[in-house]
Amino acid sequence: MIILSYNVRGLGGGVKWRAIKDLIARERVEMVLLQETKLQVVDQRQCVSLWGDSNCDWRYTPAVNSSGGLLCIWSKDAFTIQNCVLGQNFILLAGLWKERANNCVIVNVYAPCDLEAKRELWRGIQDLKQICPVASWCIGGDFNAVRTSLERRGEAISQTYGRRESDEFNSFIIQMELFDIPILGKRFKWFRPNGKAMSRLDRFLI
């Protein structure tokens, strides 16, 4: 399955909307995971317009005070949903990957910046894995955490806090029995507008 994950930092703009729509069509995306939509409400008209046709299904969580918000859209030909769990910082989709006739769980994540809130998110996903006896998991999105100091450059963050955050994120990956897919292209995926800080916050874990 071809899955696109994208922190859109607001889905309201026409130029951004068209760019994502073109990317979905060009790469033949079968499921898209969007973070930080900043939308309170998402309707069928918007999803069909973004996807390009009506042969799609979708789930979303609303933004809180114009912050956050998650949206998942997928082709009905590629994935059949069987169960869904909506959290403030994640959407979990359990269903059938039709091409492989494989039951799988796909999670769209937009992790908070606060470390304690991250811990709560990691624990929540771990608890769901304990009660969901499916072997194939894919977690994608903006984790707002790095695994090593090499994945962050230029940010003024204490070594103690950064190391603790990385240790707990790595512990979550190990306990979930996940594999961090290597990236191609640019080493960093998030950039401060002035270019003085950059990090790898977006990834897929399978």
- The pLDDT of residue 202 is 85
Query: 199 pLDDT exceeds 70?
Result: no
At 156, the pLDDT band (50, 70, 90 cuts) reads: low
Tell me the pairing of strands 31-35 and 3-7.
parallel
CATH code of 26's domain = 3.60.10.10
Instruction: Give the residue numbers spanning the domain of 121.
Output: 3-205
Residue 135: pLDDT band with limits 50, 70, 90: confident
Tokens of 41: 């409400």
pLDDT digits (tens, 9 = 90+) for 54-101: 999 999 999 988 789 999 999 999 999 999 999 989 999 999 999 888
What is the average per-residue pLDDT within 144-152? 80
Ranking 45-54, 84-93, 114-123, 143-152 by mean pLDDT, the lowest is: 143-152
Band (pLDDT 50/70/90 cuts) for residue 181 is confident
Structural domains of the chain, count: 1
Cα-based distances in Å from 156 to 22, 46, 82, 164: 36, 39, 44, 15
pLDDT of residue 193: 62
Q: What is the mean pLDDT of the chain?
A: 88
pLDDT for residue 160 is more than 80: no
Residue 192 has pLDDT above 90, yes or no: no
Q: Which residues pair with 84 in a beta bridge?
A: 93
| C-alpha distances out from residue 162 to 112, 144, 145, 146, 169, Å | 15, 12, 9, 8, 11
Q: With contact defined as beta carbons under 8 Å apart, do 122 and 139 qualify?
A: no
**According to the model, what pLDDT value does residue 51 have?**
96
- What value does the mean pLDDT take over residues 158-163? 60
Contact 206, 178 (CB under 8 A): yes
pLDDT value at position 122?
A: 96
Checking if the pLDDT of 141 tops 70, the result is yes
Structure confidence by residue, pLDDT tens digits, 7-60: 998 987 788 889 999 999 999 999 999 999 999 999 999 999 999 999 999 999
